[in-house]
Structure 1
Amino acid sequence: MKLTFKDYGLKATERFLKTAIVIDDEIIAEQPVKIPEGELEQPPFAAGMPEQAQAGVTVPDSTQQATERDAEVQIKPLADAFLDKRIVCGVLKPEVSDNDDQVVDRAVRAATVADIIIIDWYLRPNQDNLARSILGKILTEDRELNGRLRLVIVYTSADPLAERRTALAKYLRKAKFDAVEDPNDDTLLMIGACRVRFVRKKSLNVGMTVEDLPDFAVAEFAKHSNGLLANFALLGIAALRDATHHILANLDSGLDTAFVGHRMLLGHDTEARGFAMNLFLLQIKGVLSLPKHLGGALGDEELTAWFDERFGYPDADAHLEAAGTTKDQLRDSVLKGSGKLDSAHKSLFLPASKDDPTKVGNVEKELSQNFARFATFVREPDGFNSLPKEWLPTLTLGSVVKLVGRKTRYFLCVQPACDTVRITEDRYFPFIELVTKNPAKLTENLVIRDGEKRVIVRVSTSAGSRLYDKFKPDASQTVHAESEDGKFCFPSTIDHVYWWLGDIDPLKAQRIATDVSGSLARVGIDEYEWLRLGGSARK
């Protein structure tokens, strides 16, 4: 049977999800005692004895008992259902004697390692303060990490769910979160990369049973992480999780002596850490390169499923016709590289601009530039990955900087990595200029972000494109940036100030340095032109 793109997302999500945490004050471990229906038979020894009711005892009816059990969560069937999906489920049950701050801290710590959070709305009798505090603190920590893909299921007996969603949205907006209430679903709340879904606990014929929660959670997470590259990443991370203990077994203590010897011969801890990082990445690459993990990912079948879903919106055919193509033609261009690829590339962005197809060119430009940065930069100020507090950039191979003078100029540091460490005195660093002229196919192009604007630059190969400036190392024997109003700069010894715009992939930087060095090494001589043209006068 042909898989839909939703099916691919579910498969990747099921492989990825490993941990869940349930936060509820009504968690019970034992199965409830079931009272049989109908009248109970009288035991033989009681035959003939007069019936006598106990004074002052009120026997609750079945409806009252069911209502009291609405808030309870039976942990065994829930944990078993999660384990059937290879997901480990933890439990946090706030007791009356527990301090609220301690409960919040424990919940936040658990959330840092949980793929799925299931939380009750009332963690204290008829009070939602504790649940809101927990969710607010979790989202605050996520925001400090520049966002995190997160699924929260508020599993509650508190009705109506729409009012609970509104209450949480109002609370989060006061905390400066952009909480978006889905107009088409009154149980869904989006806060950046966090998806909060309100679900009714099972009561009589209404709500969801605990046994159904794992399937529901997987489906919700798959909706949240729906994408080609997201599916690829989910499969890759799942493979690494499965292989974690194998990698640890390979890196046993028997290798330590050789590594320490390497560190001793180097005489510098920074390079030793870099070597250890490369060693670790090599093990990871060895795992991910095995066909059983990612062999079928991003193949034609998945790409076709992605295309069909992407262009399944009502006006897709009309938009494609206006762009001069059809679904079949565009699909062939995607899978086979056929047709006019320039116009086909722009048409790919029609779903992202379906509200106003005339702006497809702007959408193509913006998304392509963002992807170019994502594929090139390891670090940026306010980039895709957050920078640690108190962290300072190091001037090294691949650092992109801005020099402001009579005009703004951009440069790429091409100092060999080995010459950016163990610096004991002022040292010159070489830079290659990045010019804002039209991009060229025969040289390297970069998209850099300078404040709020994005600039496309290309590597200048002209003889005057090199710049040298001298910098002073600090106690770490490297050149660290200085922090100034949230920005980073490298002051040179001659009072030039280079503003740090990010670090690109060192391998790409090395290739740029090699290409430029090669062009500068060309030797120009006077020679017979006919022979230079290959024995012909034809140019």
Structure 2
Amino acid sequence: MSQDFAMMRTTAFLQTALVVDDEIQVGNDQYAAEEATLGTASLEMDYDQRASEGDEFGLDRVPGEDHSLDSMKVVESFADHGISCAVLQPRGPSPDDLGRVESLAVRSDIVVLDWLLGRSDEIKSGPGEETTSLGLVKNIVSHDIEAGNRLRLICIYTATPDLHSIVDRIGAVICDLHAYTDQVIVDHGSLSVSVDSLRILVVAKPHHSAPPDGAVCTEAELPARMIYEFCELAGVGLLPQLALAAISSIRDNAHRLLARFDRNLDSAFISHRAMTDSVGAEQFAHSLVSSEVTSLLSTVEVASAVYEAPIEARVEQLLGNLPEKRMLNKVKFGQSYRSVTLGEAREILTNGLDSNGKVRIDNADVPLRCSSTTSLFSRSEQEHEIYSESLAIDLAFGALSSLARTPEHDGKGTPAPLLRLGALLRGDDGKYLLCLQPLCDSVRLSGSVAFPLMPLSTASAESEVFDIVVGSRDSYVALSRDGVKLSDVRVASFDASSDVGMVQALWGSEDSRWRFYGSRSSSVQGGDAGAGAGNPVFEWVGDLRPEKANQIVAHLVTNLGRTGINEFEYLRRSGRK
């Protein structure tokens, strides 16, 4: 996939930017004329002298330094890329100013912050020794983590001399906030801090006194740099482009949704609610919007991100600079590789199997019995490394295709998980359970309600069949419904929430997990003592995609319909299995 195509998709996705600076100027009119109050101290003051005067890190504002920002250039340059930009100028450490910045920042695609905000060198945004800008970064990232680790690009745009120290201080804060400290990357070469879906850059203003190579960016260049960085963060690859295209299409076609949901139909919906109940009506409204969005996505060119041309380009990109010898696993389970050329690998990956399930290898049609061709992308040379690497990628994609909601992206700030068909639970004994309660029987509840839970066995992804993958990062678990009978289904009782008429999970602040707490009368026992000591407790593992949950239920029901007869053994063994 070409960088130009990815940049085009990213630019179409980005809509809003927020720039915060206390020394803005419009053209030649500077609103924060610091020269009048800061004097004319030399810009050549070295870091040792600064340290002797109390600035240990070389981060304070030096009299005479130009920290101004030409807001007109910034706004016009963002507008040239089709991005609406707001510029805020805090007047000091007032709660209103900081609250306004934070509320806008969480809704902006791009956030640009000056490092030092306000006329004093260190304006505190709370307890501790943080500058206002660092405090804002901490609050924005904390909000994003609670909301399920949303995609976030933050730029520190500053004329403060020691950019490396800024990177170190930001890195320390992100390490304190993030659960996976070892995955936080503090890169002094690119002046950035990155982890997961978060990237924070430190960029020098054009009047920086001694910027590192490549660190300076003018106001006119800033938008293009932010689009490029956002593309690198989220837009490179087939699946990110697919997701960006889908979101952009929904944004661009919002008027079509509004036209369909006419206010003149309100009376009919209210009538429906009156004849059912509030919770059922809310679920019905949700399903209407969901199906309408699905229909919308099917009518626009969202799938163009995974058409043949992008696929071929991405295959070339992933196979580029790889050795000529590629390894293809020949078996469904385990490791048994055969060597193929780079050209054959390209043919297999772009054209796939023929109608007979065969591929062209060594100028001959060979049946492809393996369950994955991901090993063709591996850069490893040892077979066991190739297998482990490709298996990890396949399991990660298996989790994406299995689960509609996951704990990794549904934290405290997201709607509480509900107990209904497709909810995956894990008891305190480590066993996995799938809720089979139909959606219609999961609403309008009161008191203690029984829920059927189907046990799922853990399976070795290397040697056993499995249907579902759960987990995140490098810790994935394969689950199988194989061999489950109706007699294995267990029943547990849960107390419905009185305000929503459904069973909701509760957030555990101590370990940041969602849990369902059963009633005392439940027949399935857990070992955790939560809301009500002695109640069985089930950790929420995720929600299956609806079609996956329905498939498992259909398999169970089909097994119930089997007719068992006592017949002549010869006929039974001769019959069709």
Which band: TM-score by shorter chain?
0.7 to 0.9
Shift in CA distance, 208/399, structure 1 to aligned 2, threshold 3 Å? closer
Distance in 1, matches of 2:269 and 2:326, equals 60
**Aligned pair partner of 1:135 in 134, 137, 141:** 137
The DSSP-based 3-state class of the residue aligned with 1:296 is helix
2:518 pairs with 1:490 = yes
Shift in CA distance, 432/192, structure 1 to aligned 2, threshold 3 Å? closer
- Residue 106 of structure 2 corresponds to 112
The DSSP-based 3-state class of the residue aligned with 1:15 is helix
**Aligned pair partner of 1:169 in 171, 174, 182:** 171
The answer to which of 478-487 and 219-228 deviates more is 478-487
**Aligned pair partner of 1:299 in 295, 303, 307:** 307
Shift in CA distance, 260/25, structure 1 to aligned 2, threshold 3 Å? same
Does the 8 Å contact 1:319/1:357 carry over to 2? Answer: no
Shift in CA distance, 436/105, structure 1 to aligned 2, threshold 3 Å? same
| 1:353-502 equivalences in 2 (<5 Å) | 358-380=384-406, 382-388=407-413, 393-402=417-426, 409-423=431-445, 427-436=449-458, 445-449=467-471, 454-461=476-483, 463-469=485-491, 471=493, 473-474=495-496, 475=498, 476-480=500-504, 486=513, 487-491=515-519, 493-497=521-525, 499-500=538-539, 501-502=541-542
Shift in CA distance, 125/427, structure 1 to aligned 2, threshold 3 Å? closer
Does the 8 Å contact 2:455/2:489 carry over to 1? Answer: yes
Does the 8 Å contact 2:405/2:543 carry over to 1? Answer: yes
Shift in CA distance, 302/507, structure 1 to aligned 2, threshold 3 Å? same
Q: TM-score, normalised by structure 2?
A: 0.74
Distance in 1, matches of 2:116 and 2:88, equals 14
Cα-to-partner distance string for 1:212-262 (whole Å, 9 max, x where unaligned):
111111111111112221111111111111122332233231121111111
- Residue 198 of structure 1 corresponds to 202
Distance in 2, matches of 1:303 and 1:450, equals 26
Distance in 2, matches of 1:477 and 1:126, equals 53
- Residue 234 of structure 1 corresponds to 244
Give the letter aligned to residue 87 of structure 1: I
Quote the offset at 1:19 in angstroms.
0.5
Distance in 2, matches of 1:319 and 1:312, equals 12
Cα-to-partner distance string for 1:362-396 (whole Å, 9 max, x where unaligned):
2323332232222222334x33332447x654332
Shift in CA distance, 326/401, structure 1 to aligned 2, threshold 3 Å? same
Does the 8 Å contact 2:185/2:194 carry over to 1? Answer: yes
The answer to which of 200-209 and 438-447 deviates more is 438-447
2:267 pairs with 1:272 = no
The answer to which of 472-481 and 231-240 deviates more is 472-481
Cα-to-partner distance string for 1:18-55 (whole Å, 9 max, x where unaligned):
0011111121124369xxxxxxxxxxxxxxxxxxxxxx
The DSSP-based 3-state class of the residue aligned with 2:339 is coil
Give the letter aligned to residue 109 of structure 1: S
2:71 pairs with 1:75 = yes
Shift in CA distance, 195/462, structure 1 to aligned 2, threshold 3 Å? closer
- Residue 342 of structure 1 corresponds to 370
Give the letter aligned to residue 310 of structure 1: L
Give the letter aligned to residue 345 of structure 1: T
Distance in 2, matches of 1:157 and 1:538, equals 79
2:560 pairs with 1:520 = yes
Structure 2, unmatched stretches of 5+, are 31-39, 44-62, 123-130, 329-336, 354-358, 360-367, 526-535
- Residue 117 of structure 2 corresponds to 123
Quote the offset at 1:357 in angstroms.
7.3
Quote the offset at 1:439 in angstroms.
7.6
The DSSP-based 3-state class of the residue aligned with 1:254 is helix
Distance in 2, matches of 1:452 and 1:489, equals 28
Shift in CA distance, 440/274, structure 1 to aligned 2, threshold 3 Å? farther
- Residue 85 of structure 2 corresponds to 89
Give the letter aligned to residue 305 of structure 1: A
Distance in 2, matches of 1:458 and 1:16, equals 38
Give the letter aligned to residue 394 of structure 1: L
- Residue 24 of structure 2 corresponds to 27
Shift in CA distance, 331/141, structure 1 to aligned 2, threshold 3 Å? same
Distance in 2, matches of 1:112 and 1:537, equals 64
Does the 8 Å contact 1:445/1:459 carry over to 2? Answer: yes
Does the 8 Å contact 1:414/1:510 carry over to 2? Answer: no
Distance in 1, matches of 2:195 and 2:461, equals 38
- Residue 191 of structure 2 corresponds to 187
Give the letter aligned to residue 419 of structure 2: L
| 1:311-350 equivalences in 2 (<5 Å) | 311-313=319-321, 315-317=322-324, 324-338=339-353, 339=359, 340=368, 342=370, 345-350=373-378
Cα-to-partner distance string for 1:108-138 (whole Å, 9 max, x where unaligned):
2111111111222232357362222222221
Shift in CA distance, 289/151, structure 1 to aligned 2, threshold 3 Å? same
- Residue 530 of structure 2 corresponds to none
Distance in 1, matches of 2:102 and 2:562, equals 61
Does the 8 Å contact 2:450/2:492 carry over to 1? Answer: yes
Quote the offset at 1:502 in angstroms.
3.0
Shift in CA distance, 149/524, structure 1 to aligned 2, threshold 3 Å? same
Distance in 2, matches of 1:456 and 1:526, equals 37
The answer to which of 135-144 and 234-243 deviates more is 135-144
Q: If you compute each CA radius of gyration, which structure gives the higher value, 1 or 2?
A: 1
Shift in CA distance, 465/492, structure 1 to aligned 2, threshold 3 Å? farther
Give the letter aligned to residue 378 of structure 2: L
Q: State the percentage of identical aligned residues.
A: 25
Shift in CA distance, 232/537, structure 1 to aligned 2, threshold 3 Å? closer
Does the 8 Å contact 1:232/1:298 carry over to 2? Answer: yes
Shift in CA distance, 139/348, structure 1 to aligned 2, threshold 3 Å? farther
2:74 pairs with 1:103 = no
Distance in 2, matches of 1:359 and 1:152, equals 36
- Please tell me the root mean square deviation across aligned C-alpha atoms, in Å: 3.9
- Residue 244 of structure 1 corresponds to 254
Does the 8 Å contact 1:439/1:458 carry over to 2? Answer: no
Give the letter aligned to residue 202 of structure 1: P
Cα-to-partner distance string for 1:88-111 (whole Å, 9 max, x where unaligned):
00011122xx33544332222111
